[in-house]
Amino acid sequence: MTLVHVAGELRRASASAIASEVMTEARTVLLEGPHALLGTETWWEYRPDAAADHDTLLARHVTPGHLLELLWMLVRVGDLHPPLAVPESTRTALVLRALETGWDQAEGGLLRYIDRDTGAAPTGRLLGTPYEVLVRRTWDTKLWWVHAESVYATAMLARRTGSVELARWAARVREYTLGTFPDPDGQEWLQIRSRDGSPLDEVVALPVKDPMHIARSLLLLNALEADELPETGERPAAH
């Protein structure tokens, strides 16, 4: 995901042939071949090489925020080079899959990690890694980056597709996010929340205050709302 995004932005900024090559290769790994991470309606956080390991927690868990973030990045890559575009039907199926399985029906908001089949706490055979401990301990937390990225992804994809269903989801995600994370004093976001949305004084992701996702998403949303085209940085001609 990061590779396809960085290569795409470098390609947009510099017209670099190397960046274009890396962008194409990264997109191919994500969507093509027997070990592709994205399908028509499913995705993998970690796809094992052997089918015998499909029962593991590493294989069974997914991160809805990562998929939503990746989908808007792939739109921008497709705008740069149309042959790399993901079909709209696939994008729509995947974004709805992430939202429908990742949304916390009890408390609202998007869960950090979920089981790919149940949308609940990740399950599966354990291999004894620290990451598995993290997934099991923090799966139901509500995090700043997940929601910042999801606000932009749903708004952008709803506008692209004209889908009424996606527009409803975009409004739902935005309402939860802006009602939960911004500090009431208006100075910053309280980035880590428990399942019920209350502040959680615990490190569950990065041990630093990370503003990048918030700033990027809000800038892109501002461009979208102002009818600027964030894919090219151009504005429509004045009427």
131-170 pLDDT tens trace: 999 999 999 999 999 999 999 999 999 999 999 999 999 9
Q: How many whole angstroms separate alpha carbon 227 and alpha carbon 239?
A: 13
In this structure, are residues 62 and 45 in contact, taking their beta carbons and an 8 Å threshold? yes
pLDDT at res. 64 = 97
Give pTM, 2 decimals.
0.91
Q: For residue 75, give the 3-state DSSP assignment.
A: helix
**Looking at residues 24-40, what average pLDDT do you find?**
92
For the range 204-210, what are the long-range contacts, defined as Cβ-Cβ under 8 Å and sequence gap of 24 or more?
Answer: 204/112, 204/134, 204/137, 204/138, 204/141, 204/143, 205/138, 205/143, 205/145, 210/144, 210/145
pLDDT exceeds 50 at position 225: yes
Amino acid symbol at 200 = L
- Rounded mean pLDDT of 22-43? 91
CATH number attached to the domain at 43-225: 1.50.10.10
pLDDT mean across residues, the chain: 91
Q: What is the pLDDT of residues 61-110, one digit of tens each?
A: 999 999 999 999 999 999 999 999 999 999 999 999 999 999 999 999 99
pLDDT at 239: 34
Cα distance between residue 31 and residue 40, in whole Å: 10
CB neighbours of 107 closer than 8 A, spacing ≥ 6? 195, 196, 197
Residue 226 Cα distances to 72, 152, 219, angstroms:
18, 14, 11
Cα four-point dihedral sign 219, 152, 205, 190? positive
Q: Which residue has the tokens 């921008």?
A: 76
Q: Which residues of 22-37 are buried (b: 16+ CB within 10 A; e: fewer)?
A: bbbebbeebbeeeeeb
With cut-offs at 50, 70 and 90, classify the pLDDT of residue 228.
low
Distance CA 161, CA 163 (A): 5
**Nearest by Cα to 2 from 26, 38, 35:** 26
CB atoms within 10 A of CB 65: 24
Domain spans of the chain? 43-225
CA distance 164 to 160: 11
d(CA 7, CA 40): 24
Report the 10 Å Cβ neighbour count for 215.
11
Report pLDDT digits (tens) over 193-222.
Answer: 999 999 998 888 777 777 889 999 999 999
Q: Are 157 and 92 in contact (CB under 8 A)?
A: yes
